[in-house]
Amino acid sequence: MQSDLAIDLGSSNTRIFVENKGIQVDEPSVITVNVDEETVIAVGKEAYQMLGRTPDRKIAAYPITGGVISDFAMVEAMLKTFLKRVTRSSIGMPKAVICVPKGITEVEKAALVNLISSSGIRKVCIIEEPVAAAMGAGTDISSPHGSLIVNIGGGTTQIAVISLGGISVSRSARNAGNSMDEDIIKYIKKTYNMLIGRRTAENAKIQAGSVISGSVPGTYPIKGKCLVTGLPIKVDIDAEELVAPLRKTADLIISQIQDILVETPPELLADIYTDGLTLTGGTANLTGIADLIHEQTGLKVNTAAQPESCVIKGCGEAIKYIDSKPSKKGGINPIIERY
């Protein structure tokens, strides 16, 4: 028997969970291809190392942008390569739970389901990403109690109030880890006349970034290309300089959380006031982000353990619902659609 799977095709990272085994793939959603021969050169970690470094006629790219597939063929090739690592080739095709960002269109969803099916999955079950994040963070989603989930990934931030297994109010926006990296690139360009790549910006954010002033001491070396001479240069920036560019995205996320609170029905709001919110996604690891959200919203902020893995863990937990019908007694089944 082929083990069932859970798949999280994120803008930054692809994660695959295998039933009874756990997370077996956790790699950047990057693929490098040879344009002329239409062959795959590398995927995941190996392809990530090639970003911005490929010669003519070879492309290394993130084929999912802002939670949405931007290059169908590339995502399909990447997923097939990852799936080959976790499935036994000989017998049958597995079933899979996949998560979709709340707020994608029917057309985008159909494209995703199509792609997963054509990558060798027999049955595709859909769960909404914020629900998966809540489950993976250990929230009891079946209770009538309201919980506020803030999942800040690379491509999107999803904010949702969940109760009784469903989403009451939600927001999805493209202010997340990637927009933080872009703001670092812009800041370095403007201040130092220096061009840096996306990986350099992301590393600076992870190593020296913070959204709270005074929390990261010292300097951080950044290497790039001088816009005046065209030559390579290095500047030692003060870690403090990263606060302002990173705050742009952080402040937008916080105002979206405030919008959601305004839309939340009073009973659920009372629950959230008592319990606070749960922070998940890779960007939950950013220095100061939990403190800043607490400071600006007044809510307690519970950062999930291994926040980047919550969505895939939640999808993995939902594997047990693949074959179960929605219960007549009103039991909670997080799977909303099956194809």
Ligand X SMILES: Nc1ncnc2c1ncn2[C@@H]1O[C@H](COP(=O)(O)OP(=O)(O)O)[C@@H](O)[C@H]1O
Cα(34)–Cα(266) distance, rounded to whole angstroms? 55
Write out the binding residues for Mg ion, residues 310-339 only, by CB under 5 A.
311
Q: Which residue shows structure tokens 């506020």?
A: 148
Q: Which residues bind ligand X (CB under 6 A)?
A: 10-13, 153-155, 177-178, 202, 205-206, 281-283, 285-286, 308
Tell me the C-alpha to C-alpha distance, in Å, between residue 41 and each of 47, 63, 116, 163, 198: 8, 15, 21, 44, 21
First and final C-alpha spacing in the chain: 20
3-state secondary structure of 196: coil
Q: Which stretch binds Mg ion (CB under 5 A): 110-118, 153-161, 180-188, 239-247?
A: 153-161
Residue with Cβ nearer ligand X (159 or 268): 159
CB of 267 to Mg ion, least distance (A): 29
CB of 209 to ligand X, least distance (A): 6
Tell me the C-alpha to C-alpha distance, in Å, between residue 256 and each of 80, 118, 162, 213: 36, 36, 16, 22
Burial class (CB in 10 A: 0-12, 13-18, 19+), 153: buried
CB of 107 to ligand X, least distance (A): 21
Q: Which stretch binds Mg ion (CB under 5 A): 20-28, 147-155, 161-169, 272-280?
A: 147-155
CB of 2 to ligand X, least distance (A): 26
Residue with Cβ nearer Mg ion (15 or 145): 15
Residue with Cβ nearer ligand X (149 or 268): 149
Burial class (CB in 10 A: 0-12, 13-18, 19+), 60: buried
Work out whether strand 5-9 and strand 194-195 pair parallel, antiparallel, or are unpaired. unpaired
What phi and psi values does residue 129 have, to the nearest 5 degrees? Answer: -55, -45
Q: Decide if residue 153 touches Mg ion (CB under 5 A).
A: yes
Residue with Cβ nearer ligand X (24 or 143): 24
3-state secondary structure of 64: strand
Residue with Cβ nearer ligand X (224 or 281): 281
Write out the binding residues for Mg ion, residues 192-221 only, by CB under 5 A.
none
Residue with Cβ nearer ligand X (7 or 268): 7
Site string for Mg ion, 271-310 (x = CB under 5 A): ----------------------------------------
Cα(312)–Cα(129) distance, rounded to whole angstroms? 9
CB of 309 to ligand X, least distance (A): 9
Residue with Cβ nearer ligand X (153 or 334): 153
CB within 8 Å of 235: residues ≥ 6 apart: 192, 194, 221, 222
CB of 10 to Mg ion, least distance (A): 4
Q: Establish how many alpha carbons lie within 13 A of residue 259's alpha carbon, considering only the half-sphere containing its beta carbon.
A: 15
CA 90 centroid distance within chain: 32
Q: Establish how many alpha carbons lie within 13 A of residue 318's alpha carbon, considering only the half-sphere containing its beta carbon.
A: 37
CB of 285 to ligand X, least distance (A): 3
CB of 268 to ligand X, least distance (A): 25
Q: Decide if residue 28 touches Mg ion (CB under 5 A).
A: no
- Residue 315: both structure tokens together: 């999808």
Task: Count residues near Mg ion (CB under 5 A).
Answer: 3
Burial class (CB in 10 A: 0-12, 13-18, 19+), 2: middle
Among 4, 5, 9, 10, binds Mg ion (CB under 5 A): 10
Which one of Mg ion, ligand X, none is in contact with 308 (Cβ closer than 5 to 8 A by kind)? Answer: ligand X
Residue with Cβ nearer ligand X (146 or 314): 314
Which one of ligand X, Mg ion, none is in contact with 282 (Cβ closer than 5 to 8 A by kind)? Answer: ligand X
Residues within the interface to Mg ion (CB under 5 A): 10, 153, 311
